[in-house]
Amino acid sequence: MACSTFFYVHLRQIRLKIIQECLLDEGMFLFKLSKLACISMGAVIFIPLLLGESKILDKIVARVGDEIITQQDLESQIYQLSYQSQDKEEIRIFCLNHLIEQALLLQDFNARKGNVVTSQLDNQMNAVVQDNFQGDYRAFMSYLRNKEQSFVGFRNDLKRSIIIHAMRQQTLKSAFNISPQAVIDYYRAHLSDFTQPTSILLEQKCFKVDSLLSDSEMKKIDYYNKGLQEGKSVVALANELDEFNLSHTWYTVSELAPCLAEKAFLLPVGGYSEIIEHNNLYFVLHILDKQDAHVQPLVEVQSVIEECLLKAMNEQAFQQWIQVLKSRIPVEI
């Protein structure tokens, strides 16, 4: 059961050490990818590795060159992504487009007479078994039998994943392609995205509602109230009775329980709250620092903006390449 659960997740995120060199065509076109790539089912690639290699004869929803996309292929993708949106037609179109894109990339790879280095594929197979089954090939084969998939079928699906990722890498842009002015323009157009709400640095002292003093039958809350009447400070009592030793943390209004936020954000820096009951606990809040709402300066968010711009540039470049491939390879839906 543990292995089955893991491999369902494995469909969404599989670690691949991508082939460092794939020889393509007579021109010795090289793919050079050296980093450990984390391929997400939700972002880069949509390959159902463990759904079996044989296609059931069912409705054909698209043809891409000499490859077909069946209703079964499409439904497997829809099933994996259905949680992301309530619009079923939107999901269907999204998944079908990705399946078509994959088929186009595979067709392009084959047209260039590309080849995956066998030793690299062997290494990836070994890594899968090592990471997921502690190197136990018998357990791995047992899992495949339960899923009605052969070793060869799984290996072929892994090979497809490597090819598709490697082909998509060809369109990736460098951060050097992003101009300083583009960053500034994005920042000015999205100031609301970089506006930070008022926040407080909060110290929380708390103890359970039914907690007793360690050396008596008196409840801690009764001891606290009695101590206040005797003139003891809130600080001393809160420190004495605290049970959780929580670390100091910055909070916005939305990040605190309403009953705590209502009190905390009215306190001045250095102030302590009265005791507050929440979720079967008593709280005493101490405000260590406060920051008013403000727009983050560009220097703090520049890397975030560059990442957004680079992602958009890469997607645009990829889609442009897909359009070129569609002009070369017939696609029928």
Question: Domain check: are 119 and 163 in the same one?
Answer: yes
CB 287 within 8 A of CB 271: yes
Question: Domain check: are 166 and 208 in the same one?
Answer: no
Confidence of residue 237 (pLDDT cuts 50, 70, 90): very high
Question: Domain check: are 113 and 258 in the same one?
Answer: no
> In this structure, is residue 320 part of a structural domain?
no
Which one-letter amino acid corresponds to residue 15? R
Confidence of residue 220 (pLDDT cuts 50, 70, 90): very high
Q: What is the pLDDT of residue 175?
A: 63
Q: What is the pLDDT of residue 285?
A: 97
Question: Domain check: are 22 and 82 in the same one?
Answer: yes
Q: What is the pLDDT of residue 87?
A: 76
Task: Tell me: pLDDT of 230 over 60.
Answer: yes
Q: What is the CATH number of the domain that holds 270?
A: 3.10.50.40
Sole residue written with tokens 């037609």: 89
Per-residue pLDDT of 176-193, as tens digits, reads 678 999 999 999 999 999
CB 224 within 8 A of CB 305: no
Burial call 16-53: b when 16+ CB within 10 Å, e when fewer = bebbeebbbeeeeeebebeeebebebeebbbbbbbbbe
Report the range of poorest mean pLDDT among 43-57, 159-173, 203-217: 43-57
Task: Tell me: pLDDT of 303 over 50.
Answer: yes
Question: Domain check: are 11 and 121 in the same one?
Answer: yes
**Distance (Å, whole) CA 70 – CA 56:** 8
Question: Domain check: are 6 and 147 in the same one?
Answer: yes
Report the range of poorest mean pLDDT among 5-9, 32-36, 73-77, 143-147: 32-36
Question: Domain check: are 116 and 223 in the same one?
Answer: no
CB 47 within 8 A of CB 102: yes
**Distance (Å, whole) CA 167 – CA 105:** 6
Tokens (6 digits) for 150: 């052969």
Per-residue pLDDT of 250-294, as tens digits, reads 999 999 999 999 999 999 999 999 999 999 999 999 999 999 999
Q: Whole-prediction pTM value? A: 0.58
**Per-residue pLDDT averaged across 65-80, rounded?**
85
What is the tally of structural domains in the chain?
2
> In this structure, is residue 286 part of a structural domain?
yes
> In this structure, is residue 239 part of a structural domain?
yes
Q: What is the pLDDT of residue 4?
A: 38
Reported as type and span, the H/E element at residue 276 is strand 276-278
Question: Domain check: are 165 and 213 in the same one?
Answer: no
Tokens (6 digits) for 276: 């507050």
- Phi/psi at 244 (5° precision): -120, -20
> In this structure, is residue 180 part of a structural domain?
no
DSSP codes, 179-235? -HHHHHHHHHHTGGGGEEPPEEEEEEEEEETT-B-TTSS-BHHHHHHHHHHTT--HH
CB 203 within 8 A of CB 330: no
**Per-residue pLDDT averaged across 5-31, rounded?**
33
Q: What is the pLDDT of residue 5?
A: 35
Structure-model confidence comparison of residues 38 and 159, the more confident one = 159
Tokens (6 digits) for 231: 């003139």
Task: Tell me: pLDDT of 43 over 60.
Answer: no
Task: Tell me: pLDDT of 116 over 90.
Answer: no
Tokens (6 digits) for 46: 């949509």
> In this structure, is residue 204 part of a structural domain?
yes
Question: Domain check: are 11 and 132 in the same one?
Answer: yes
**Distance (Å, whole) CA 299 – CA 292:** 19
Task: Tell me: pLDDT of 35 over 70.
Answer: no
> In this structure, is residue 129 part of a structural domain?
yes
Task: Tell me: pLDDT of 239 over 80.
Answer: yes
3-state SS assignment for residue 66: coil
Question: Domain check: are 55 and 130 in the same one?
Answer: yes
Reported as type and span, the H/E element at residue 282 is strand 281-291
> In this structure, is residue 88 part of a structural domain?
yes
**Distance (Å, whole) CA 216 – CA 212:** 7
Structure-model confidence comparison of residues 170 and 228, the more confident one = 228
Per-residue pLDDT of 117-163, as tens digits, reads 888 888 888 998 999 898 898 998 999 899 888 888 888 888 988 89
Q: Which domain holds residue 272?
A: 198-292
> In this structure, is residue 301 part of a structural domain?
no
